[in-house]
Amino acid sequence: SELTPEARDRLAESVEQYLTDADDATRRIVTAVAGLLAKVAYADGDYSTEEEATIRQELSRVHGLSSAGVDAICGLLADHIGRVALLGDHDWTRDLGELAGRELRLEVLEVLIEMAVADQVLKHAEQTQLRRIAKALSLTQDEYNALQAKHRDKLSTLS
């Protein structure tokens, strides 16, 4: 879609607008995490209220991001989740690879897994997406498996 790059830009602009006291690296990390959360949330083609609540909760943890900023980013994602989710995640995983240490990348993967199970089912499409992101973040299959194992009861082999 020709609007796809616009969705990426709008997400970055929202983060920049509401995270004014942060440096460029921090804004890029927050944008990457928000984009990846949206991508995983929509991996199954549905954006549930539980998934939106999880994104809201994770963004609320960002130091310096006001509730108005969380609302703006969540509103953008609610309105354009399909476009944001269609974006390739190379820029976001590259930014995290360059700017975030291994511990932060593991924490991001854990947050993404939490996003995927927000609706109480870890579907095959979500697992595939998460494995690909883990690899792009230079995390191992064992690290992914250890984080996913916490949610083994939610694995779906049929979806």
The answer, yes or no, to whether residue 153 has pLDDT greater than 90, is no
Confidence (pLDDT) at 74: 94
Question: pLDDT digit string (tens) for 70-123?
Answer: 999 999 998 888 888 877 788 899 999 999 999 999 999 999 998 888 888 788
The pLDDT of 135-141, averaged and rounded, is 95
Q: What is the pTM of this model?
A: 0.89
Confidence (pLDDT) at 1: 38
Helix axes 49-60, 24-41, angle to 10 degrees: 160
Q: Map tokens 């499409």 to a residue.
A: 125
Task: Estimate to the nearest angstrom the gap between the alpha carbon of 95 and the chain centroid.
Answer: 13
Question: pLDDT digit string (tens) for 29-66?
Answer: 999 999 999 999 998 888 889 899 999 999 999 999 99
The answer, yes or no, to whether residue 151 has pLDDT greater than 80, is no
CA dist 148 → 101, 130, 151 (Å)? 20, 10, 6
